[in-house]
Amino acid sequence: MYVADSRGTPAPAVTPEPQAVVPGTGPGRRAALAPTVLALGTVSLITDVSSEMVTAVLPLYLVAGLGLTPLGFGLLDGLYNGVSALVRLTGGHLGDRLGRHKALAGIGYGLSALCKPLLLLAHTLPAIGAVLALDRTGKGLRTAPRDALISLAAAPAERGRAFGVHRAMDTAGALIGPLLAFLILRGAADGYDAVFTVSACVAALGVLVLVLFVPGRRTRPAADAAPVSLRASVGLLRGTGLRRITLAALLLGLCTVSDAFVFLLLQRAGHFPDRWFALLPLGTAAAFLLLALPLGRLADRVGRRRVFLGGHLALLAAYGLLLTGGTHPALPYAVLLLHGTFYAATDGVLMAAAAAVVPAEHRGGGLALVQTGQAVARFAASLGFGAAWTVWGARPALAVAAGLLAVALAGCARLYSADADEETVAEAV
Amino acid sequence: MTLQRRILILVTAVVLLSAVGVIAVVRASSRADEKDRARPGGPEVTRGEVSLTPADGAPRIVLRNMAWGPHRDELVTVPAASPGGPRTASGVSCLRFHSAAGTGVCLQAEKGGVQEQYRAVVLDAHLKVVSSHPLAGIPTRARVSPGGHLAAWTVFVGGDSYAGTNFSTRTSLLDLRTGRYDASLEDFTIVKDGKAYRNADVNFWGVTFAADEQTFYATLATGGQTYLVRGDLTARTVTTLRENLECPSLSPDGTRLVFKKRVPGLSADAPWRLYALDLATMKETPLAEQRSVDDQVVWKDDRTVVYALPGDFGADLYALPADGTGTPAPLMTSALAPAFLGS
């Protein structure tokens, strides 16, 4: 599936991207968005259509199609989260080391695309679990190199916007996917194989768009620079800029109640019809989709860290509403809007902030460090929250999480004000 | 590569991949149509009158028909004396079904809307809808109490689309005498090892009712372990009795449970065996079925249990002595969720 990007084109292997440093991109004037960002956004959109098609029908397929009992399916999640963190770091680091973010991203997308036809062959829970694990490996592998590509393609002052566009397109795909899947199932009852086949075709298309339309330039001159070592990658944390951002992502990640719990708490708080439960993630995604670009642009203007912290403030507000909102009919809407705002203000914005403090040749590894720190912290938080729920009950556990989040926010605000939100560490381009 | 050539490659690929996708959908669609035509050699199914209280007093079975044809997935009835004979179809479609004492509960898919929606409907003896309850997920278990006053059902909920692999269950209870509806058993107080217990990961499934129309048994899962619980509808409590026990089914005389048990050492995709538990002695007896059974059995009488295994056309039903003796005997093909009535 994946074709190396340097195939058969002799001449100047790749032209550097013109739009990244458009002259006259002063404040107030907006440059056209880098085509690479749009291309990567398209790849993510297509890939998310493909993967969310599968995610949406999987429970139905397991229960109704195969007659299996999917309980206990999530048991390996903990173990897998660890592996996923390692894969992510590897993807980021290798992209730097080989100077080939596109190749690594391509392998990641290709691996996930390969999993879709494999689903046609897997008929037992362990086999399906293995395919899904492979799919997630592909996702882990590609995330950091892809974000590195976005950050390298966009002009430094426009990164918030670039990540905003990318995340919005990504989320749009996640919303289209289930729709497409259920349309297929309406046309063909029990046509799970048709869903998987279409999903495989869509995924293949995503890989093809990546191969054809994302330039695969090497990020550093091949010979003169020292190779990017693992030690140097990890050593990035010695720089105050990245260390602060990673620390903030870690601290705030440790106070973030995982989505599943938020939806569960919402379900307990609001007495809305039971069947809405499955729609709650869509509410968050819709808000994320609508706000990703505006908040990314806001981050470019007022500072990414400020918006990142603001996003967590929205999360804190969501916790507050869950704790005090009672059974007001508007509660679910408000909480989901805040939850989506949290994602829109933190997901891409964090990458934009981190990109500003990581030199170009370490971009993949640096972004992977921040992402992994956040993911591990969030996983630890969900374990902790589950335990707190057991000991104290749901509401006290949430109150504690809210308290911790407030303290962490205050701490991070101080951390940031120390360097006055300056985000202009030398770009080593 | 020139932009023109890249676009050409992309367009070609889009055409080819679309063709593959369209063919897959068309094939699946025609296969679905094929299932609406009766298959030679399949059981004979004709439209007729289906009652949950057999008029002539002769025992009958009411079940979900899975045989191909226009009545696929409908409730059908056969005389208990000739389960392999012609089936009478009701026109009511159900994914899961159970019935006792003239009350039926049918978990069905709702037509219309983009996404699949499900509801539980309570049926009277003539299959008229008494009440309807929207479901939060995919139906898996349904039960009616022996006296016909209580109903319970379990659905699978994929709660978090980001997690993808995170499934949970929701079990609901309905008291037809008072109309009281508990959307989730998780609101009951859990007593585990003598102490009140709570955890966000608590899941319930597979309720079975006792004849007192108040006591029930069910599966509780938490912390990676499953438990048999005894529940009290009035006290709104469930109490753990025993580990590693799923989908209990209480015998008509109330003395034994047959359940599926995760047996160590079996392959992960076929982990269950059927066991019987004597409630007086708490002694377990393995039943004579050597295959993995993922079903909540029903009792045909005080000696025999019936359960479904995957078959060539839907599921097939087997009957087995509940005391560990004998061998599984095929009962019906292309059949699921039987209820033994009037026996």
- DSSP-based three-state secondary structure for A326: coil
Nearest chain A Cα distance for residue B280, angstroms: 30
Q: Where are the domains of chain A?
A: 34-218, 237-429
Element (H, E) at B319: strand B315-321
Nearest chain B Cα distance for residue A120, angstroms: 12
pLDDT of the residue at A21:
42
Chain A residues whose beta carbon lies within 8 Å of the beta carbon of residue B224: 72, 75
What CATH fold (topology level) applies to the domain A237-429?
A: Growth Hormone; Chain: A; (1.20.1250)
**pLDDT tens profile B92-128:** 999 999 999 999 999 999 876 666 789 999 999 999 9
Chain B residues whose beta carbon lies within 8 Å of the beta carbon of residue A189: 32, 35
Nearest chain A Cα distance for residue B310, angstroms: 8
Yes or no, beta carbons of A201 and B165 under 8 Å apart: no
The answer to whether A64 contacts chain B (CB < 8 Å) is: yes
For chain A, 429 residues long, give each residue's pLDDT as a single digit of tens: 333 333 333 333 333 344 444 444 444 455 678 999 999 999 999 999 999 999 888 878 887 777 776 554 444 455 666 778 889 999 999 999 998 999 999 999 999 999 999 999 988 878 888 898 899 899 999 999 999 999 999 999 999 999 999 999 999 999 999 899 989 998 888 899 999 999 999 999 999 999 999 998 665 554 555 667 777 877 888 888 899 999 999 999 999 998 888 888 888 776 677 667 778 888 999 999 999 999 999 999 999 999 999 999 999 999 999 999 777 888 899 999 999 999 999 999 999 999 999 999 999 999 999 999 998 998 889 888 888 888 888 899 999 999 999 999 999 988 776 554 444 443 333
pLDDT of the residue at A71:
59
Neighbours of B8 (CB within 10 A): 12
B317-320 contacts, C-beta under 8 A, 24 or more apart: B317/B63, B317/B83, B318/B289, B320/B274, B320/B287, B320/B288, B320/B289
Q: Which one of A69, A70, A277 has the shortest CB-CB distance to B159?
A: A277
Angle at B176 between CA B175 and CA B177, to 5 degrees: 90
Name residues 217-236 of chain B within 8 A of A (Cβ).
Answer: 221, 224
Residue among A98, A206, A185, A87 at smallest CA distance from A144 = A87
**pLDDT tens profile B285-324:** 999 999 999 999 999 999 999 999 998 888 999 999 999 9
**pLDDT tens profile B212-250:** 999 999 999 988 889 999 999 999 999 999 999 999 999
**Homologous superfamily of domain range A34-218:** MFS general substrate transporter like domains (1.20.1250.20)
**pLDDT tens profile B28-53:** 999 989 988 998 888 999 999 999 99
pLDDT of the residue at A132:
86
- Residue bearing tokens 């029990």: A190
Q: Which one of B114, B200, B268 has the shortest CB-CB distance to A126?
A: B268
* Chain B interface mutation, best of A75, A390, A392, highest count of B Cβ atoms under 10 Å: A390
Mean pLDDT of B257-272: 89
Same fold across A34-218 and A237-429: yes
Tokens of residue B114, six digits? 């983009």
Q: Which one of B25, B31, B35 has the shortest CB-CB distance to A198?
A: B25
pLDDT of the residue at B335:
96
Yes or no, beta carbons of A125 and B268 under 8 Å apart: yes
The answer to whether B28 contacts chain A (CB < 8 Å) is: yes
Average pLDDT, chain B: 92
Residue B17 pLDDT class (50, 70, 90 cuts): very high
Chain B residues whose beta carbon lies within 8 Å of the beta carbon of residue A274: 134-136, 170, 183
Chain A residues whose beta carbon lies within 8 Å of the beta carbon of residue B181: none
Rounded distance between C-alpha atoms, residue A269 and residue A58, angstroms: 28
pLDDT of the residue at A63:
78
Name residues 310-339 of chain B within 8 A of A (Cβ).
Answer: 310, 315
Yes or no, beta carbons of A71 and B167 under 8 Å apart: yes
Locate the DSSP E strands across A154-240.
Answer: none
pLDDT of the residue at A30:
58
Q: Which one of B10, B21, B115 has the shortest CB-CB distance to A197?
A: B21
The answer to whether B309 contacts chain A (CB < 8 Å) is: no
Name residues 110-139 of chain A within 8 A of B (Cβ).
Answer: 124-127, 129, 132
Strands B237-243 and B189-192: what pairing?
parallel
